Amino acid sequence: MPTSPSDLPGPGAQDAADHPEEGLADLAVVGAGPAGLAAAVTAAGFGLRVTLIDAGERPGGQFYRHPAPQLGAERPEALHHGWAAFAARERALRAHTASGRVTYLPGHHVWTVVPQDAAQDAPQDAAPAGDAAGRAPAAWVLHAVAGPEEHAVAVRARAVLLATGSYERQLPFPGWTLPGVVGAGGAQAMLKGGLVLPGRRVVVAGSGPLLLAVAGSLASAGARVPAVVEAAAYTGYAPALPALLRNPAKLAEGAVYGGALLRHGVRLLTRHAVTEAHGTDRVEAVTVARLDADWRPLPGTARRIPCDAVAVGHGLVPQLELATGLGCATRRAADGTAALDLDALQRTSVPGIWSAGETGGIAGAQPALVEGEIAAHAVAGRPVPAALVRRRARLRAFADAMGRAHRPGEGWTGWLRDDTDVCRCEEVPAGRIREAVADLGAGDARTAKLLTRAGMGWCQGRMCGPAVAALAGEEQAPDRRPLSCPVPMRLLAGLPPADG
């Protein structure tokens, strides 16, 4: 259960077994990252009763991740830019929690959301939620697991805002399962949340603007960064010059990262990729090769760089399980990922379900804050200020330009050997997936998964999904899973019996 006094559950939450009819929040927000936090405090400011639920122990999500108080960090803001925006909203959250307007539930992982009528039958089947006339149900029930004992919590609310963020896109390469190979965002999370470095000599690789931020943070914290290896070419931004010029603050942010790399003597290799990690007990070196425009390694360009860690990531993927479980429509975003299809008021295609932040397409913390505020206005029935709408459009245009520039080229599968594990949970190598496609006729990722078990392990395809889809010759489709995280059987067994 929540631990600090400000986290005590209020009238919007109770054990599922208790009195399910008591307590109905106006809005339940899933995710206390920039989008969910902004939405919760804005909606509470309009007088709505809000329940804010987050799997993490502290508000802030991925961007405003900060060390646990026990670590005694003197300046937790030192690893962040835009800390003031977070601090103001965290203060507002505390004030609204104290007044009872917001019930904040950290350490609660929502595993499904169902319309109240269907709550008896949770988890929901494949039909989109909402009735045939497109009306929202009177209430939604959000089922969560909480705390180390994994007890059941149910939250009821008239409207739901999904602000569940994203996770890293990983493209495997030979040696990527060696100790010392970590996600680029993971390295950042280790540093921001645990004040530890993944190694002393860290190659930062993959694609996307996060690499510059990560390399800058690692170098400033004392790591040696021999190179940032970026698979895309920055000339990919050229067609989007107008969108770039309308976002001078983003360009300045890029310049700050660039300056940090220069100061620390970090080499930036564009159109290059780490195509292999070497080592026995842990990574000792990487092979870096030059790529063609489709990300195919060019013969004769490989060279070794010694290191004891690799921080690698190829952008982010929207985390959509709860939304797709409800039947919310998706679209293909500029970076190739599937994102929620949202209207101008941040509404999903399912009446009564809103969304903000990375779920609507990878864009960064600033648009997430803006979209959270827009969604809160819409849920409260307030007119959305034109300035917020303009800001969202400007930031989203910049994000699309970034997404297009760093979208993986099709040739990246050329660095996979047949014995490279693609699905690390089920230990399925690339050769077996290629065999399923070439010899057994698997024409899509789902069939490849059924034939090889790739994507059936603990992470449920979050790591290998993009790679299996690419090997099967298609773009990754959003998964439709009834449970968004592992749930103990006793919780499912403890739900009220199915109606009829």
416 binds ligand FAD (CB under 6 A): no
Torsion angle in degrees (nearest 10) through CA of 184, 187, 188, 193: 150
Which residue in the set 107, 123, 165, 408 belongs to the binding site for ligand FAD (CB under 6 A)? 165
14 binds ligand FAD (CB under 6 A): no
- Where helices occur in 149-296 by DSSP H, the ranges are 184-194, 210-220, 241-245, 248-263
**Distances, alpha carbon 76 to alpha carbons 3, 66, 86, 328, in Å:** 21, 6, 12, 37
322 binds ligand FAD (CB under 6 A): yes
Q: Which two tokens stand for residue 247?
A: 């976002």
The β-bridge relationship of strands 283-290 and 303-306 is: antiparallel
CA 333 to CA 55: how far, in whole Å?
26
Name the 3-class secondary structure at 148: coil
Which residue in the set 357, 361, 408, 461 belongs to the binding site for ligand FAD (CB under 6 A)? 357
291 binds ligand FAD (CB under 6 A): no
166 binds ligand FAD (CB under 6 A): yes
Query: Could you count the other beta carbons within 10 Å of the beta carbon of residue 273?
Result: 31
**Shortest Cβ distance from residue 164 to ligand FAD (Å)?**
4
Beta bridge partners of 227: 267
Which residue in the set 32, 129, 205, 307 belongs to the binding site for ligand FAD (CB under 6 A)? 32
398 binds ligand FAD (CB under 6 A): no
33 binds ligand FAD (CB under 6 A): yes
Q: List, as one string, the DSSP characters of 167-184.
A: EE-----TTTTSTTEEEH
Residues ≥6 apart with Cβ < 8 Å to 32: 40, 52, 53, 54, 56, 59, 60, 61, 104, 106, 163
- In b/e form, how buried is each residue of 126-152, taking b as 16+ CB within 10 angstroms? eeebbeeeeebbebbbbbbbbeeeebb
Residue closer to ligand FAD by CB (options 36, 352) is: 36
Q: Which stretch binds ligand FAD (CB under 6 A): 18-26, 268-276, 302-310, 357-365?
A: 357-365
Beta bridge partners of 338: 332
* Eight-state DSSP code of residue 477: P
Is 388 exposed, middle or buried, given 0-12, 13-18 or 19+ CB atoms closer than 10 A? middle
54 binds ligand FAD (CB under 6 A): yes
Residue closer to ligand FAD by CB (options 36, 123) is: 36
Cβ atoms of 269 and 228 within 8 Å: the answer is yes
Site track for ligand FAD across 189-208, x = CB under 6 A: x-------------------
479 binds ligand FAD (CB under 6 A): no
**Shortest Cβ distance from residue 128 to ligand FAD (Å)?**
19
Residue 272's Cβ-side half-sphere holds a number of Cα atoms within 13 Å equal to 22
213 binds ligand FAD (CB under 6 A): yes
240 binds ligand FAD (CB under 6 A): no
CA 168 to CA 184: how far, in whole Å?
8
63 binds ligand FAD (CB under 6 A): yes
Residue closer to ligand FAD by CB (options 174, 313) is: 313
2 binds ligand FAD (CB under 6 A): no
Interface size with ligand FAD, residues (CB under 6 A): 37
Site track for ligand FAD across 88-117, x = CB under 6 A: ---------------------xx-------
188 binds ligand FAD (CB under 6 A): yes
Residue 90's Cβ-side half-sphere holds a number of Cα atoms within 13 Å equal to 13
157 binds ligand FAD (CB under 6 A): no
**Shortest Cβ distance from residue 135 to ligand FAD (Å)?**
25
Which residue in the set 9, 31, 137, 216 belongs to the binding site for ligand FAD (CB under 6 A)? 31
The H helix count followed by the E strand count for the chain is 13, 22
Which residue in the set 40, 55, 468, 471 belongs to the binding site for ligand FAD (CB under 6 A)? 55
257 binds ligand FAD (CB under 6 A): no
- Closest Cα to residue 89, out of 139, 121, 50? 50
For residue 170, the one-letter residue type is: Q
12 binds ligand FAD (CB under 6 A): no
**Shortest Cβ distance from residue 112 to ligand FAD (Å)?**
9
Site track for ligand FAD across 359-378, x = CB under 6 A: -----xx--x----------
Name the 3-class secondary structure at 142: strand
Which residue in the set 26, 90, 168, 335 belongs to the binding site for ligand FAD (CB under 6 A)? 168
Residue closer to ligand FAD by CB (options 293, 345) is: 345
Residue closer to ligand FAD by CB (options 82, 128) is: 82
Which residue in the set 97, 348, 452, 484 belongs to the binding site for ligand FAD (CB under 6 A)? 484
Residue closer to ligand FAD by CB (options 212, 437) is: 212
CA 76 to CA 473: how far, in whole Å?
44
Q: What is the largest CA-CA distance in the chain?
A: 69
**Shortest Cβ distance from residue 145 to ligand FAD (Å)?**
9
Write out the residues near ligand FAD by the rule CB under 6 A. Answer: 30-36, 53-56, 61-63, 109-110, 163-168, 185-186, 188-189, 210, 213, 316, 319, 322, 357-358, 364-365, 368, 484
